[in-house]
Amino acid sequence: MSYLILVRHGQSVWNLEKKFTGWVDVDLTENGKSEAKKAGQLIKQKEIEINLYYSSFQLRAKNTLKIIQKELSDFKDAKSAWELNERHYGALTGLNKDEMKKKLGEEKVHQFRRSWDLRPDPLDKKNPYHPQNIQTYKEIPVEKIPDTESLKDTYERVIKYYSEEIENKTSENILISAHGNSIRALCKYLFNLDNNEISKLEIPTGNPLLIELENKKISNCKYLDQERAKDLLVF
């Protein structure tokens, strides 16, 4: 048996402020650091030795992983991949979700957040929140940096990376620290969810999803913090 553990980063500064974050590289709140620490403790209790670590390019995912590794006393090098980044929210980036609900209506904002193939308007390349203007992404080829993305777009880049770089290694124990939409994309692929099911899927911050694999096939899965997961869609 082997294990694949998916962890959405702990609460970020913009999670707290209810802003569309996407590719803006914000850090964890103190609560987010505590969530990451608890995630590490929960994984440690399972006595699973992690062989391979992955994260997105983004600070909130990288720092979540560092805190988890500290709790595990395991400081193996982690592979960071921009393909595991959060979905790019286009022109919604930096805007407050509650304010946008008042402006556009709750249904429209829900569509932007959860629909399969609806993209927000593209973010102006001159905007300081555009990834081309953020130092974190300077090594990514410009032609690969999006101006906006749907969940479908996010799915395609995440799953291309997963299938090429990670899937063939799942006979080992792997931990991925990523984001709500990149993990949602992975769950759609791994659990063969349809477009309606994926729109209902909530990914909690800092709660490890432990996936058990037998001969690389999923045999069981559960969130390690069951109390926080009681109202979530269970596979």
Give a yes or no: residue 40 inside a domain: yes
Give a yes or no: residue 235 inside a domain: no
How many structural domains does the chain have? 1
Q: In percent, how much of the chain has pLDDT > 70?
A: 97
Give a yes or no: residue 52 inside a domain: yes
CATH number at residue 77: 3.40.50.1240
Give a yes or no: residue 234 inside a domain: no
pLDDT of residue 126: 97
- Check pLDDT > 60 for residue 1: yes
* Best CA proximity match to 147, nearest among 129, 122, 126: 122
Lowest-confidence region among 19-33, 96-110, 194-208: 96-110
Give a yes or no: residue 196 inside a domain: yes
Give a yes or no: residue 183 inside a domain: yes
Tokens 């294990």 -> residue: 3
- Check pLDDT > 90 for residue 234: no
For residue 154, give its domain range: 2-229
Alpha carbon distance 113, 103 (integer Å): 15
Give a yes or no: residue 131 inside a domain: yes
Contact 222, 211 (CB under 8 A): no
Alpha carbon distance 209, 211 (integer Å): 6
Other beta carbons less than 10 A from residue 69's beta carbon:
20
> What is the mean pLDDT of the segment spanning 52-56?
98
- Check pLDDT > 90 for residue 186: yes
> What is the mean pLDDT of the segment spanning 134-154?
96
pLDDT of residue 230: 59
By annotation, the residues acting in catalysis are 9, 86
Contact 115, 150 (CB under 8 A): yes
- Name, in order, each residue with C-beta under 8 angstroms of 228's C-beta and a sequence gap of 6 or more: 204, 207
* Residue 188, H or E segment: helix 180-190
Q: What pTM was estimated for this model as a whole?
A: 0.95
- Check pLDDT > 80 for residue 96: yes
Other beta carbons less than 10 A from residue 196's beta carbon:
8
- Name, in order, each residue with C-beta under 8 angstroms of 89's C-beta and a sequence gap of 6 or more: 20, 21, 22, 112, 120, 123, 148, 149
Alpha carbon distance 190, 212 (integer Å): 12
